[in-house]
Each structure stands twice: as C-alpha cells, then as structure tokens.
Amino acid sequence: MSDEEIRRVLGLLYQEDTLRAFASLVLGDAGGLSPKVLHKLAGGGLAARDESGTWRATPERFRELLRARAEPAVELSAEERVLRTFLVEGRLTTLAMRRDKRLVVLRYIARVFEPGVRYPEKAVNVALRAFHDDYAALRRYLVDEELLSREDNVYWRSGGPVDM
C-alpha cells in the first residue's frame, strides 16, 4: 500500500462532495448522487457496484489501509513486559511485586552502577532516588539479592548483567 493511495482516500474524504456521497452510501441512500462523484469514490476504493448495479459504500477499504500501514507487531520479551509494567517514565510504580518480577527490575536498576567502581552510600541513595522515593528499601533489595555488596557504607556492583 503506497502513501499515494492513502493520500488519495484521505483526499476524497476531505472534499465535501465526496464525503457527503460516502456518508449517503454508508446510510444506504445512493439516490440522487452524481455518477461523477460515485466514480471518484470507486477510484479510491470507497464505493463499488454490486451485481444489480446498485452503488454501496466499501468501508472495509479503511481496514485494508490500516493493515497495510500497520507496523509489524514487535514481540516483547518477558523482561521487557515486566519493565514496561513497573517502570513508568523511568520511575518504579511500586516496590510490592513478586520476587521474580522484582529481580527483573532490580537487575535493570543495578546497571546504573559500574562494575569495579566503589560508591559511597550517599551516591547510591541519589542514584536510587531517581527510580523510587523509598531508596533505602531499593538499596536493601539490591544488597539482599546480591546485586550490590556493602562494606563500611561503601557499595559496589557484585551481580546482575553487564552491558558490553
């Protein structure tokens, strides 16, 4: 389906005479419509004649155009679905979630911290506050799940995926 075909159909619906004619056909009232206008609609696939020669609207044309222009469905991974569910504009909507889903979210958050870099607790709190106001609970979850390690108020990344 070309952009030109879509523009043609939209152009027909933009013109007052063809829009009124299409509406009349949809309502089943083709009487008194100009043959010239009916042929314009037929040219855009919005009208057709049946076996008896009666004009009818073909609104299925819209479905055809939509299907032809629709983006192919992108299959999201289970992790991506979890992240889309619990992260809205980069912020966690809740910390109350099943452990398996929480692990997906925590692994994602752990990527904020560079492997091999040591962070003072204050820096960890600032980074985690960007995700959720209860940064202390988030920090505790990260440590409990061994994604961050802690010693003397210094934290470092100790688990989770590493971006290459």
Position 70 scores a pLDDT of 58
For 81-98, b/e burial (b = at least 16 CB within 10 A) is ebbeebbeeeebeeeebe
Question: Which is it for strands 148-151 and 87-88: parallel, antiparallel or unpaired?
Answer: unpaired
**Is this model's pTM higher than 0.75 or not?**
no
Number of domains in the chain: 2
Let me know whether 31 and 11 are in one domain: yes
**Claim to verify: residue 83 and residue 152 sit in the same structural domain:** yes
Whether residues 83 and 120 share a domain: the answer is: yes
Identity at 77, one-letter amino acid code: S
**Domain check: are 54 and 82 in the same one?**
no
From 20, 37, 69, the end of a domain falls on 69
Domain boundary, last residue among 44, 69, 94: 69
Environment class of residue 38 by beta-carbon count within 10 Å: exposed (0-12), middle (13-18) or buried (19+)? buried
Domain boundary among 18, 51, 69: 69
pLDDT of residue 75: 79
- pLDDT by position in tens, the chain (length 164): 577 888 888 888 888 999 999 999 999 888 889 889 999 999 999 999 989 888 999 988 887 877 766 555 567 899 999 999 999 888 999 998 899 999 999 999 999 999 999 999 999 999 999 999 999 999 999 999 999 999 999 999 998 877 66
Both tokens assigned to 89 = 């504009």
Q: Please give the residue range of the domain that contains residue 8.
A: 3-69
Residues 29 and 86 in one domain: no
- Interatomic CA distance for residues 66 and 57, integer angstroms: 17
Q: Establish if 163 belongs to a structural domain.
A: no
Residue 43 vs residues 37, 61, 97, 113, 155: alpha-carbon distances, Å = 10, 12, 55, 60, 69
Output the six-digit token pair for 146. 């061994």
